[in-house]
Structure 1
Amino acid sequence: MVVHMFSKQFIILLIIPMNVISACSSNSNDDWTIIKDPTFGLTFNPPAGWTYPLSTAEETWSFFPGQPLTLAQAQNAAAGDFKGAVFQALEEAGQSAENVVITITYTPPELHDCYKNDAAAADLVSLPIGGKFALFENGVISQIATVTGAALASDVCRTKAYAANQVILTYEPEIEKASIKIENFQAAKFILKQISSMITANLVFGRGVKFVSENTIS
């Protein structure tokens, strides 16, 4: 007796909209684009170490923890942190840093707290209406407050008893921008995206930077 074995074949048709195929193809092509001497654009709330206060900060006790007292010191601190984050990211991404030149473009802002020293000069014991000071929260300077209602005296600054002293504060976000250019280096865009994410992570966990938008790559 002969037994005939028959196999069954199934054909499955996948219907994929053309716009999905087009989008996937477009994204793939873009990610494989080689970019030479890439520039990363960063937008963030700065740590105190990347800012500097007024020249009277020591007299008014209006500097922040870890804040350098001069523009040059703040510039050097920020540049060192940015470059360290980039070199670490290149290493983590398995990319050679040999012969690369890193250029940082960042201008530290002049930011200070409200005045806290009752014994300061007469014109430095309170912030007048319209005066501004920065807010240091969770390791970064996140907002700028403007004084309205009444002048903000040093004792009120220390106790933060604003409402009880008719001091009204309005707020605006404190957002800074920086760019990082890596010369003598090129990579596909998908690799640069990885490097960008690593730079962000290194600055967040290493310096406490709070990013407010996704980095740009050009």
Structure 2
Amino acid sequence: MCEGENLSPGETRIALAIALLHDVGRFPQYHRWRTFRDSDSDNHARLAIEVIRKEKLLVGLDPSEQLLIEEAVRFHNLLELPGKFRSPDQLFIKLIRDADKLDIWRVFTELQNLPPHQRASAATLGFADLPEVVSAACLDSLAAGTIVRLDSVRTLNDLRLLQISWAYDLTCATARKILLERGYIPALAAPLPEREDIGTAVSAALSSLAAISA
């Protein structure tokens, strides 16, 4: 993504540091609560900032670089970004939010190809795998071209709809290109019930993505 977005060597260094650190809060989260679900534990982005500061991981960097890294880590998992930022440039926030989605898509599509007994329940956030069940609220959000909220997710199929809806939230052209090339959306949609309303909502997400990327 760094190359695709034409980042300078200095910008690439910051972006890679953010990529390395953005989920470091997952370690204390799982150690303490045995879950990756923030609603059942604590915001893993906030925990990441705690780890970064406690371990002094950014000591030696310019304060302006520290701010860029910390803000990108802090905001990488928000449903909606705040209206104001301390850092003057939101490039790295946009990059990590898109890169994080690509990584989750990769992990989840690989995971769903495994037999159920081999799937890590923490990675699927503990949602039940009910092959024919899709929550109306999740499908309605996707059909409307909006992001599915995690608090409306009830099943593994709902989680798939949530991840498909992320297509509407990508901001970097390189991320959209990678998403289309790797076929994550069709892969996520494959296990969903064969229903016209679901197919239409998924197709709309793909079509909008392709139109923006054209």
- The TM-score normalised by the length of structure 1 is 0.25
- The TM-score normalised by the length of structure 2 is 0.25
Structure number with bigger Rg: 1
* Structure showing the higher strand proportion among its residues: 1
